[in-house]
A and B are shown apart, each in its own frame.
Chain A
């Protein structure tokens, strides 16, 4: 029997005049992992939200175990046994992990008061059962990105049920967490659950899925079995035009140091600390640092981008202290920065797409040009076109899909020449072809003489692009031998296993 069936679903967003889902059909069987793939903005998240009671469809039917339903909230969907791990964090950042999971189902004593101990206890039980190790009392905002994702997964599992919907769960997870998640998914599957799995990572999908549905422009175009295709074939299905691009090799030889970290220490940030990090990124090379969440990657990002000063040690850009640059100079041509925290640092969510795109080069216009000329508009269009962001610049940036937002950031940051590029998880949320476009743009910048520091929780990014790779484990940097180290070596280093 089919666990869930979606028939001829339509969803129109009037605010952006976007027909996000346009007559999509989708079904989920017991004991299967059904992957949902498609380019950015294809409507995957919207379809998932409709299944989970987050959005109501304009037309079409949703049936659970054969009987039609009409969810008015996620709670209804939850009662029908549907758990949801959304693409963007839907946690309350100031509450503890346990509070977030208990929200809406709080145990009480005397009928009115929250039972704090029970909340924490229930959380620990849950975490143990699924093999996660999050501290129940940790405030969510202090958790690493992957820690937050774990809380989100636990929340979806807490009210247990037959259906689990995961929207790009691994986009910011490291290797180990990803493995744990896969093990979990397999366990659930064998217990008879159905799992909807949205991802851009072809390899994962082929590993995991029983069926793969490809979405394009709001429709499910076709549904295939993983045995019928391979990585490149899948990529071709997702984006008709694309070919399966391989990694890019460096043509140039490294020059002068662009970005230098000298025994940088940053503590008092919990597990996210740096301990005497030494790193030199020369012009004309890509240096990748890979880490699982909570090993200091965020700290390294902050220090390298000059957002926080280190407790001790120096951060030099082109041989000068990073804080000796006036911010304006630093950001115009010296350093490009793609942050992990896209919504908080990379975008001004309440401003238009166009303004976000040209935000970095306001100073470049003359007064008259900006006030009266057409250049800003043309520039915005050109920039957005370079990363294939369609649909004009007037809309607010927070109405874009996740991948398109990331493209806006990339378009802005990777536009001009820059001596140093700090790119933190730059491929998050990007579909296969735009990911390739981004990586090739980074390679191009390297070839033009930029010093590129790539910080990523995805070893694949590193192995495709990096000239030299490091692993960050418990705040310490460790070099990997040579470019393209094999995956198992990286995995071992990531988890602190000495070879």
Chain B
């Protein structure tokens, strides 16, 4: 490893991200087993549904990977803002805006652009996410308004507007789903491995995560970004461009959320459906924190969430476990994963007498 010193050691004494993810998986397993035993009349089926079924065939594994992609993007967006010290809670509306814009561009653009509409849809999604993030970002930049506050307000406002647009002027009148017209298959991302829903999206996500990781750990702007997030005053006095840092991460996060929304449309969903963002903004915050705010851990954290979702669903499908049980297990796993028992402290407690001097 090269210049690891620059890696800012944030949580001294806490367990590392891989350890935390390992704990997460182990806990999920234990809780799922417990829930299955307590809530199901056929615990073995329930357990199999939770642990085996999601991995039973290539197609369901790949479905899981595909489902994790938008969540990972949103989590990445969350990290970009959180590491700049902004607490943006507007991811939900940004992703939703990305979806509707992508669906509109993909559907109406198809006549003019043909398969090129896919690209147009991606661009539209990204821009729409950025647009929803623009007011909080500009409010921060020019008025110093708290992003936490403005982002959630603006996002909620847009959710209503988009609900209206999907149910009203943009709705597909020929169907019963409250959704926009389905995009042509050629306008969607190609399925790489049918019948699974896998598209290129997870690979894009992987690349973005690596890039973000590189940005934070290895670039000057990334270091400045981090220092600003932890002590804006200090960053200002070091002569960093704090003006840009006060808004750009918020917009970048909006773009990532918008891209996530677009990928949902261009992947499994095929169009914009009313309410399709369904809590992804909040899950993403959970995933980002489980990943310890490290982009490199985001794909794994998102996969963990996708597995919990998928396992809970499979359990509901294959056994008599109610959907709420899956939800409850997911919540408990998130709780446990969020904990950071300090191993060094535990070890020191067991050892008590130090063996060597520090200096």
Contacts and interface: CB of A to CB of B under 8 A. Distances in A.
Chains A and B form a bound pair: yes
Interface stretch (A74-82, A255-263, A353-361): A353-361
A352 B238 contact: no
Given A58-B353, A351-B226, A359-B238, A391 B6 contact: no
A384 to B, nearest CB: 10
15 contacts: A12-B348, A16-B12, A17-B358, A18-B358, A19-B357, A19-B358, A327-B236, A344-B231, A347-B231, A348-B234, A351-B231, A352-B9, A354-B6, A355-B8, A394-B7
Nearest to B2: A372
B339 to A, nearest CB: 18
CB-CB nearest 6 A-B residue pairs:
A331-B239, A14-B348, A18-B358, A12-B354, A15-B13, A371-B218
B224 interface: yes
A17 B348 CA distance: 10
Interface string B1-42: 011111111101100000000000000000000000000000
B85 to A, nearest CB: 11
B240 interface: yes
A339 interface: yes
A392 B4 CA distance: 12
Interface SS of chain A: helix, strand, loop or mixed?
mixed
Interface in A323-362: 326-332, 337, 339, 344-352, 354-355, 359-360, 362
B223 interface: yes
A107 interface: no
Nearest to B232: A348
Interface in A369-383: 370-374, 376-377, 380
A109 interface: no
A394 B9 contact: yes
Contacts of B219: 367, 370-371
B4 A394 contact: yes
A62 to B, nearest CB: 17
Interface in B336-359: 344-345, 347-348, 352-354, 356-359
Interface string B240-284: 111000000000000000000000000000000000000000000
Contacts, number: 141
Nearest to A329: B239
A244 interface: no
Interface of A: 10, 12, 14-19, 22, 58-59, 217-218, 305, 307, 326-332, 337, 339, 344-352, 354-355, 359-360, 362-363, 365, 367, 370-374, 376-377, 380, 390-396, 399
Nearest to B228: A348
A259 B354 CA distance: 52
B230 A351 contact: yes
A396 B226 CA distance: 14
Given A14-B345, A370-B219, A394 B354 contact: no
Contacts of A331: 237-239
A346 B3 contact: no
Interface in B281-332: none
B214 interface: yes
Interface in B174-222: 214, 218-220
A394 B7 CA distance: 8
Contact of B353 (A59, A349, A354, A370): A59
B241 A58 contact: no
Given A349-B231, A352-B5, A327 B240 contact: yes
A433 B354 CA distance: 30
Contacts of A351: 8-10, 226-227, 230-231
A128 to B, nearest CB: 37
A367 B183 CA distance: 42
Contacts of B2: 372-374
A376 B227 CA distance: 16
Contact of A349 (B4, B230, B345, B357): B230
A401 to B, nearest CB: 12
A360 B240 CA distance: 9
Contacts of A59: 352-353
A10 B354 contact: yes
B4 to A, nearest CB: 7
Given A307-B237, A327-B240, A390 B5 contact: no
B173 interface: no
Contacts of A17: 358
Contacts of B242: 327
B277 to A, nearest CB: 32
B5 A393 contact: yes
A363 B354 CA distance: 42
A377 B7 CA distance: 11
B12 A377 contact: no
Contacts of A349: 230-231
B9 A376 contact: no
A203 B8 CA distance: 40
B234 A345 contact: yes
Contacts of A376: 3, 5-6
Contacts of B348: 12, 14
A14 B8 CA distance: 19
A392 B218 CA distance: 19
A373 B226 CA distance: 20
Interface string B30-66: 0000000000000000000000000000000000000
Given A350-B10, A370-B223, A394-B9, 13 more contacts: A12-B348, A14-B344, A19-B354, A58-B353, A331-B239, A344-B231, A348-B234, A351-B231, A354-B5, A355-B6, A362-B223, A374-B2, A377-B5
B352 to A, nearest CB: 6
Pick from A10, A15, A307, A328 the residue with the most CB of B within 10 Å.
A15
A347 B230 CA distance: 10
A380 B230 contact: no
Nearest to A359: B238
Pick from B5, B12, B227, B236 the residue with the most CB of A within 10 Å.
B5
A298 to B, nearest CB: 14
Contacts of B4: 394
Contact of A339 (B7, B227, B237, B347): B237
Nearest to B348: A14
Contacts of A392: 5
Contacts of B240: 327-328, 362
Contact of A16 (B3, B218, B236, B358): B358
B102 to A, nearest CB: 33
B8 A344 contact: no
Nearest to B230: A350
Nearest to B9: A352
A23 to B, nearest CB: 11
Contacts of A305: 237
Nearest to B352: A58
Contact of B237 (A345, A367, A399): A345
Given A19-B357, A328-B239, A352-B7, A396 B12 contact: yes
Contacts of A328: 239-241
Given A18-B359, A349-B230, A367-B220, A377 B237 contact: no
